[in-house]
Amino acid sequence: MTKQLRGLTMLAGAALLALPLAFLGRPAVAETIVLKKADFGAATQTRTKRSKWWSDEVEKRSGGKVKIEFYPASSLLKARDIYEGTRSGAVDIGIWVQAYNPSVSPMSGLFFLPGISKQIGPALRAVSELIFGPDFTFYRDEMRKTGVEPLYAWGVSDQELISTKPVGGLAALKGLKVRVIGRAWPKLISEFGGTPAALPWPQVYEGLSRGTLDANVGFVTANVSAKLHEVAKHHTRIYLGAPAGPVAIMNKKKWDGLPDDVKKIIRQVSREFTERLAEDYAKDLAAAMATMKASGVKFYKWPPAERAKLGASMRAMWDAWADGMEAKGMPGREALRRYQELLKKHAG
């Protein structure tokens, strides 16, 4: 071996020995946290757009430490499968409607009682404070025991009555065929002589146009997007409720394994989500009302005595719900009291 070749061999050996030391001296590259988020809403819907904003914002504020794969329009899980899919870890984050799994969170029925929350903005803020505030931990504890971590609350919109005939008071409900969903609404409509109809949403327009249906209790924005105002020219503004109880949930084990700085980012973006969604819905509601007015829809407000009578029936339902929860060993009365106090606080 020549002197020159021997020197090259020694240099190569030294370089190989130095490689492990070089790698040891470098900081470890943090692995990106990839989270899958399942949303059943159509990508064009206001709430789904804001759900996508939440995902993008968490990514941005984490500086790339977190990557969220967003699956809207039931492209990964259908609405009724999201709770189990999130709990089991099939997805990391899911947009959940408790009505699909009522046995999981019975106390969430509070947020869907007729007339309990009049407008969506105050309702979103009230339910968020009730679930995530420091004074009442029942809802968080209830969900955590099942294997999910609540992240933020969301809702739909203000519910009102749109009809093919004028409905100026409770007496006008008698004999009226009214499309409603859930368990409480049919009881309420029947109490005042109406006939509840459990018609699937895609059939409501045809029902109203053909006269097999007289009215629909639904969200103002959805009534307009489904063009019900084209065939039902009477709108009753009596604040029938703005459900704001659904939540975004995360697999509990996945949440517990997140770094503290990522948890802090998620909590902050979630708080902002509530405010931004409330603003989104206020704009949507104003636009929907303007659309109806422009198309010739007539608007009705009931006299105070009529509203008071309807309110008394609704409150009786709230009390019955609270008593039912108490009978099952859950703090229904306390939750009802706290929620009403928070609604009043945020309505002001």
Does residue 5 fall inside a structural domain? no
Amino acid (one-letter) located at 142:
E
Q: Are residues 281 and 145 in the same domain?
A: yes
Q: Look-up: residue for tokens 């939440």?
A: 54
Q: Are residues 248 and 324 in the same domain?
A: no
Q: Are residues 132 and 207 in the same domain?
A: no
- Distance between CA atoms of 169 and 179, rounded to whole angstroms? 17
Q: Are residues 77 and 141 in the same domain?
A: yes
CA atoms within 13 A on the CB side of 28: 3
Average pLDDT over residues 248-260: 98
- Distance between CA atoms of 213 and 206, rounded to whole angstroms? 9
Per the rule left: phi > 0, alpha: psi between -120 and 50, beta: everything else, 329 is: left
- Distance between CA atoms of 189 and 170, rounded to whole angstroms? 10
Residue 239, pLDDT above cutoff 80: yes
pLDDT at 48: 97
Q: Are residues 46 and 182 in the same domain?
A: no
Sheet harboring 148-153: ordered strands across? 66-71, 33-38, 93-96, 247-251, 148-153
Can you give the C-alpha Rg of the chain in angstroms? Answer: 27
Average pLDDT over residues 158-174: 96
Q: Are residues 207 and 221 in the same domain?
A: yes
Q: Are residues 226 and 300 in the same domain?
A: yes
Q: Please count the structural domains in the chain.
A: 2
pLDDT at 99: 87
Q: Are residues 79 and 145 in the same domain?
A: yes
pLDDT at 182: 82
The parent domain of residue 44 ranges over 33-106+127-155+244-285
Residue 336, pLDDT above cutoff 80: yes
pLDDT at 158: 93
Q: Are residues 171 and 235 in the same domain?
A: yes
Residue 177, pLDDT above cutoff 90: yes
Average pLDDT over residues 267-288: 97
Does residue 318 fall inside a structural domain? yes
Q: Which residue has the higher pLDDT, 27 or 133?
A: 133
Q: Are residues 278 and 309 in the same domain?
A: no
**Percent of the chain whose predicted confidence (pLDDT) is above 70:** 91
CATH of the domain at 330: 3.40.190.170
- Distance between CA atoms of 105 and 99, rounded to whole angstroms? 9
pLDDT at 27: 52
Residue 238, pLDDT above cutoff 60: yes
Q: Is 261 helix (H, G, I), strand (E, B) or coil?
A: helix
The residue count for the chain: 348
